[in-house]
Amino acid sequence: MDMANALLGRFLGAALAAALLLTLTGCQDGGGGGRAAEDSPVVVAPGKPGEKSRTLSPEQAAKERPDDSPNAADQAYVRHMTEHHRQALTMSALAPDRASSDAVKRLAERIAAAQRPEIGAMEKWLSRYPPPGSDTGAHDHAAMPGMATQQQIEELTGARGADFDRLFLKLMTAHHEGAVKMAGEALAQGNNGAVEEMANEVVATQTAEIHRMRAMG
């Protein structure tokens, strides 16, 4: 499944799940005991294209609600993206003292401002859904596309002025492209709604920044 189809499928699934939980109360005044069933809360579940909607009790709706328990893809994505974001913060922190372009400095500031709270959200998610057993998520750079090597980080640290600007844009563009790829894989293979939201945010934000950096370069 390509990323576009994955995004569409996940969006439609989320929309149907949200609609399933839409509760309508039909309470009316002056009804007798025979209207108790009619006055009970109901849940309207939309049918598939061409099918009628169904009326369910809250209990039935709860049973039919999709299970979004985290799977291995969700766990791997959150662990890896947390480290991926941390490297972006390390790279961005170099810009104020080394970049010559105000645009590069502002870009680095925006990246840090966006990804720092995302790290916090992912760490909170991991505390709620700790890795099973001994799977603590050892750092595996090969599983994280776009990560700069230690040599590249050292080159960026030693660069100044226009040389820093060019190298920063090159490395950060590749870094963002890797993040978008990871997010697309999570959207295609994951199962948890919160991870889906985080991955969608990465796709939207970092795709826009990739276009901006290419224009700057």
Are the CB atoms for 210 and 89 separated by under 8 Å? no
Are the CB atoms for 109 and 190 separated by under 8 Å? no
Going from the first residue of the chain to its last (217 residues), give the mean pLDDT of each consecutive group of 10, the final group possibly shorter: 45 44 43 50 66 70 72 96 98 98 98 98 96 61 86 98 98 98 98 98 98 94
Q: Using CA atoms, how far apart are residues 199 and 137, in angstroms rounded to an integer?
A: 18
Q: What kind and span of H or E run contains 81?
A: helix 72-92
Q: Using CA atoms, how far apart are residues 75 and 193, in angstroms rounded to an integer?
A: 13
The pairs formed by 109-115 with CB atoms below 8 angstroms and a separation of 24 or more are: 110/209, 111/172, 111/209, 112/88, 114/205, 115/85, 115/88, 115/89
pLDDT score recorded for residue 94: 98
pLDDT score recorded for residue 41: 72
Task: Calculate ∠ Cα 118-10-59, nearest 5°.
Answer: 100
pLDDT score recorded for residue 154: 98
pLDDT score recorded for residue 19: 43
pLDDT score recorded for residue 36: 45
pLDDT score recorded for residue 30: 44
pLDDT score recorded for residue 26: 43
pLDDT score recorded for residue 55: 77
pLDDT score recorded for residue 25: 42
pLDDT score recorded for residue 31: 45
Q: Using CA atoms, how far apart are residues 199 and 201, in angstroms rounded to an integer?
A: 5
pLDDT score recorded for residue 135: 57
